[in-house]
Amino acid sequence: MAHRSKLSPVGAPTRGTTNPNRLRRVDRWIASAPATSRLLRSADPPLVVDLGYGASPVTTVELARRLRGVRPDVRVLGLELDPVRVAAAQSAAAPPLLDFRRGGFELAGTRPVLVRAFNVLRQYAEDEVAGAWDLMLRSMPAEGLLVEGTCDEIGRLSTWVLVSRAGPVSLTLSMRLAGLEKPSTIAERLPKALIHRNVPGERVHSLLSTLDACWATSAPHQAFGVRSRWLETVRLLAARGRPVLGPPSRIRLGELTVPWAAVAPA
């Protein structure tokens, strides 16, 4: 594991709320998306930081387990500002493949190839997001990637931004299809960079409005199951000129990934 840093942790403590499997959607995406999985396979060996894991280390432990399917030797480091949370997490540590320490946006002086920062920036102002992204990415190798997002308490609604040194790359919406009233329900869980932009005149609002319209049009497909309706919704979205990224296997799970340019603040 990288050396202990004397850098002062940067950031504000989070509420610490967490639940088992809360981050399963983003974990599985990280393990399978071309950019992130390729990065994990090419690094030697890869170090991944889970920033702000909360009052329990359970989601960090789950991340490590899921990423080992990509790289058995992946090292995962959980960082928290609260020393009490770090001490409590040490019981789950299994160095060097899984460890916990105190740290924030400065990443405790480590050089991870990938950072997962979930439900961390929600409490910050929108104009602080870019600075936090930049601080994390400057602490990583040039090819490093940041996955920053948010989700509801049990992980049924989740969104995240993939960010590189060059800037945001894509936005992913991931939702549990069963019981979904309309796709725009996910707006309440947009990342901080976008959550206040869901208003007329903004690209993300236009995307969600079009997605809802396609969902309504595809209602007859509900007879074949909600997954069939979702697939038709995404097909209609693409037919209306909206760029859709990602393979059908991910879309079938209730995911939609679009280029950042399709949702970037006006």
| Domain residue extents for the chain | 1-165, 182-266
pLDDT at residue 3 tops 50: no
Task: Tell me the pTM.
Answer: 0.94
Per-residue pLDDT of 167-185, as tens digits, reads 999 999 999 999 999 999 9
pLDDT at residue 16 tops 80: no
Q: Which residues contact residue 48 at a Cβ distance below 8 angstroms, ignoring those fewer than 6 apart?
A: 40, 63, 67, 74, 75, 76, 77, 112, 113, 114, 115, 116
Token duo for residue 212: 């809802």
Burial class (CB within 10 angstroms; exposed 0-12, middle 13-18, buried 19+) of 200: exposed
**What is the residue-wise DSSP string for 4-21?**
PP-SPP-S--------TT
What's the whole-number mean pLDDT along residues 95-104?
95
Report the percentage of the chain scoring pLDDT > 90: 89
pLDDT at residue 1 tops 90: no
How many Å apart are CA 75 and CA 37, to the nearest integer? 14
How many Å apart are CA 83 and CA 63, to the nearest integer? 21
Per-residue pLDDT of 17-48, as tens digits, reads 777 899 999 999 999 999 999 999 998 889 99
Per-residue pLDDT of 228-260, as tens digits, reads 999 999 999 999 999 999 899 999 999 999 999
Q: Please report how many Cα atoms fall inside a 13 Å half-sphere around the Cα of residue 19, on the Cβ side.
A: 8
Candidate from 11-20, 57-66, 76-85, 135-144 with smallest mean pLDDT: 11-20
Q: Could you tell me the pLDDT band of residue 2, with boundaries at 50, 70 and 90? A: very low
Are 119 and 17 within 8 A, CB to CB? Answer: yes
- The three-class DSSP label of residue 248 is helix
- The three-class DSSP label of residue 47 is strand
What's the whole-number mean pLDDT along residues 74-86?
95
Per-residue pLDDT of 117-156, as tens digits, reads 999 999 899 999 999 999 999 999 999 999 999 999 999 9
Q: Could you tell me the pLDDT band of residue 15, with boundaries at 50, 70 and 90? A: low
User: Using CA of residue 75, residue 76, residue 80, residue 86, what is the dihedral sign?
Assistant: negative
CATH class belonging to 1-165? alpha beta
Token duo for residue 211: 């997605």
The mean predicted confidence, pLDDT, of the chain is 94
